[in-house]
């Protein structure tokens, strides 16, 4: 007999409280209700946002929670009313929903969806399903979902507007990166900044998101790409992906923005902050050229004092914007990105530094905290 109407017991990494390592537990995953899909997660990578939510400075997070939002898997069962998915489909869970009906989904100007607008901070949104309950329990207690995805569980339940069906021959151990880091950085360059051929770009932070932004700048035809990180070990990979110059702010005797302005004769056309924090955001804006320079914010910092901008910077013709999931309308775009990867439009493999069994999730967090990994893929 199949599992489709039964609760499944499986392995998951549960965050019980802030500042504590995740705990691998047996959890119960209830069957999907109306317009929900239960997925067997095959692979999930770690994004820095998974570390943010257990940062004790982030006060608004509800615990216990199962993090993870960069995963890929196979549909196990569907709830009533689901028409777009069937058991066996390969899928990528989407923390950016696309209902295709709301004013955001109907606008060509944004990839947001009304479902996200219930709270001000999307990282702590979608912690429950539509009926305001969770499908997860552990040790008799309900456990919150994370951004509508919770991919650090062998089985998860998502709404059918938080899911994309991808090619049957997709390699789930690679395309899981399209669930967040790759799409965010790549889309930041292509969709949000709209990097132009022949332009000069600066990218702050060379993790999974920053290197994906670098790939985006390269695909868009940028001719000079300045890659910045406080960890010089990131430079070899950045150069291999197309960085023309690499700078470590800690090795300089002037502020990074002053150095970039000098070496570009006035500033860059496009700056992208993929590190997070008011210092790198300010440096990114400052190093753009007056009369057209554009700064795109992608990185997130917890407990940061926030960005203060002098109006003169904008009056002199700079623009500043930001991106959520790289501006992609998720259900429409994720399947195309998977096909583009298959057709070798970009190289996701270059971003995967480690592949480990799910039980080694703590090692994966350590590699991220120590700056030794770009993306670690965990497999069940």
**249 interacts with ligand NAD by CB under 6 A:** yes
Which of 208, 267, 293, 327 binds ligand NAD (CB under 6 A)? It is 208
Cα–Cα separations (whole angstroms), residue 162 to 72, 140, 339: 12, 27, 19
Helices (H) and strands (E) in the chain, counts: 10, 17
- Of 155 and 365, the one with the shorter C-beta distance to ligand NAD is 365
324 binds ligand DAO per the rule CB under 6 A? yes
- 334: nearest Cα among 345, 325, 343: 325
Q: Does 51 bind ligand DAO (CB under 6 A)?
A: no
Under rule CB under 6 A, residue 329 binds ligand NAD: no
Q: Is residue 123 within the footprint of ligand DAO (CB under 6 A)?
A: yes
- Closest by Cα among 48, 42, 69 to 126: 69
CA atoms within 13 A on the CB side of 264: 28
Residues in the chain: 380
Which listed residue (148, 276, 293, 327) binds ligand NAD by CB under 6 A?
Answer: 276
Residue 109 CB coordination number (10 Å)? 7
> Could you tell me which residues come within 8 angstroms of residue 368 by beta carbon, excluding any fewer than 6 positions away?
46, 48, 51, 376
Is there binding between residue 229 and ligand NAD (CB under 6 A)? yes
Q: For ligand DAO, give the closer residue by CB, 58 or 235.
A: 58
Note whether 287 and 267 are within 8 A (CB).
yes
State which of residues 14, 53, 54, 180 lies at the interface with ligand DAO (CB under 6 A).
180
Residues in touch with Zn ion (CB under 5 A) = 47, 49, 99, 102, 105, 113-114, 180
Site for ligand NAD in 34-63 (CB under 6 A): 47-49, 52
Query: Cα dihedral angle (47, 53, 57, 59), rounded to 10 degrees?
Result: 160
| 39/26 Cα distance (integer angstroms) | 16
Cα-based distances in Å from 70 to 17, 36, 47, 213, 308: 21, 19, 7, 17, 31
Cis peptide before 40 (omega within 30 of 0): no
Q: Which of 31, 32, 71, 122 binds ligand DAO (CB under 6 A)?
A: 122
Rank residues 117 and 223 by Cβ distance to Zn ion and give the closer one.
Answer: 117
Helix (H, G, I), strand (E, B) or coil at 304: coil
67 is a contact residue toward ligand NAD (CB under 6 A):
no
Which region, judged by CB under 6 A, interacts with ligand DAO, from 22-30, 76-84, 121-129, 239-247?
121-129
**Site residue total, ligand NAD (CB under 6 A):** 33
Residues 211-250 that bind ligand DAO (CB under 6 A): none
* Least distance to ligand NAD, CB of residue 174, Å: 17
Candidates 205, 267, 293, 335; binder of ligand NAD (CB under 6 A) is 205
Angle between helices 256-263 and 278-286 (to 10 degrees): 20
Give the contacts of 96 (CB within 8 A, at least 6 positions apart): 111, 112, 113, 116, 324, 325, 328, 330
Query: Near ligand DAO by CB under 6 A, which window of 79-87, 105-113, 115-123, 264-272?
Result: 115-123
Residue 122 binding: pick among ligand NAD, ligand DAO, Zn ion, none (C-beta 5-8 Å cut-off by kind): ligand DAO
Residue of 40, 111, 159, 184 interacting with ligand NAD (CB under 6 A): 184
> How many Å separate Cα 35 from the centre of its chain?
24
Near ligand NAD in 72-101, by CB under 6 A: none
Report the interface residues with ligand DAO, using CB under 6 A.
47, 49, 69, 95, 121-123, 180, 300, 302, 324
Report the interface residues with ligand NAD, using CB under 6 A.
47-49, 52, 180-181, 184, 204-210, 228-231, 234, 249, 274-276, 279-280, 298-300, 323-325, 368, 371
């Amino acid at each position: 007999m199949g599992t489709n109407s039964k609760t499944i017991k499986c392995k998951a990494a549960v965050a019980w409280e802030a500042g504590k390592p995740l705990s691998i537990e047996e959890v119960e995953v209830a069957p999907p209700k109306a317009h929900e899909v239960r997925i067997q997660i095959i692979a999930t990578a770690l994004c820095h946002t998974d570390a943010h939510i257990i940062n004790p400075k982030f006060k608004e997070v509800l615990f216990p929670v199962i993090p993870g939002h960069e995963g890929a898997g196979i549909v196990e069962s569907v709830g009533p009313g689901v028409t777009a998915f069937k058991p066996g489909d390969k899928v990528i869970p989407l923390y950016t929903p696309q209902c295709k009906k709301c004013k955001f989904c109907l606008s060509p100007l944004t990839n947001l969806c009304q479902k996200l607008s219930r709270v001000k901070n999307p990282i702590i949104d979608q912690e429950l399903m539509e009926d305001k309950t969770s499908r997860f329990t552990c040790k008799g207690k309900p456990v919150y979902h994370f951004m509508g995805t919770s991919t650090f569980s062998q089985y998860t339940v998502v709404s059918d507007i938080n899911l994309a069906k991808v090619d049957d021959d997709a390699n789930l151990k690679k395309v899981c990166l399209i669930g967040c880091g790759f799409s965010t950085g790549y889309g930041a360059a292509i969709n949000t900044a709209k990097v132009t051929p022949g332009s000069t770009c600066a990218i702050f932070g060379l993790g999974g998101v920053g290197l994906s932004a670098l790939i985006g700048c390269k695909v868009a035809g940028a001719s000079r790409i300045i890659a910045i990180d406080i960890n010089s070990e990131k430079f070899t990979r950045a150069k291999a992906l197309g960085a023309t110059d690499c700078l470590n702010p800690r090795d300089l005797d002037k502020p990074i923005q002053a150095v970039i302005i000098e070496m570009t004769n006035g500033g860059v056309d496009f700056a992208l902050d993929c590190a997070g924090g008011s210092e790198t955001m300010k440096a990114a804006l400052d190093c753009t050229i007056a009369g057209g320079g554009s700064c795109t914010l992608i990185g997130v910092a917890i407990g940061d004092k926030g960005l203060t901008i002098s109006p003169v910077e904008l009056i002199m013709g700079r623009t500043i914007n930001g991106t959520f999931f790289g501006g992609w309308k998720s259900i429409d775009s994720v399947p195309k990105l998977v096909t583009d990867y298959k057709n070798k439009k970009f190289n996701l493999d270059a971003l995967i530094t480690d592949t480990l069994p799910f039980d080694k999730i703590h090692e994966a967090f350590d590699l991220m905290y120590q700056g030794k990994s770009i993306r670690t893929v965990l497999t069940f």
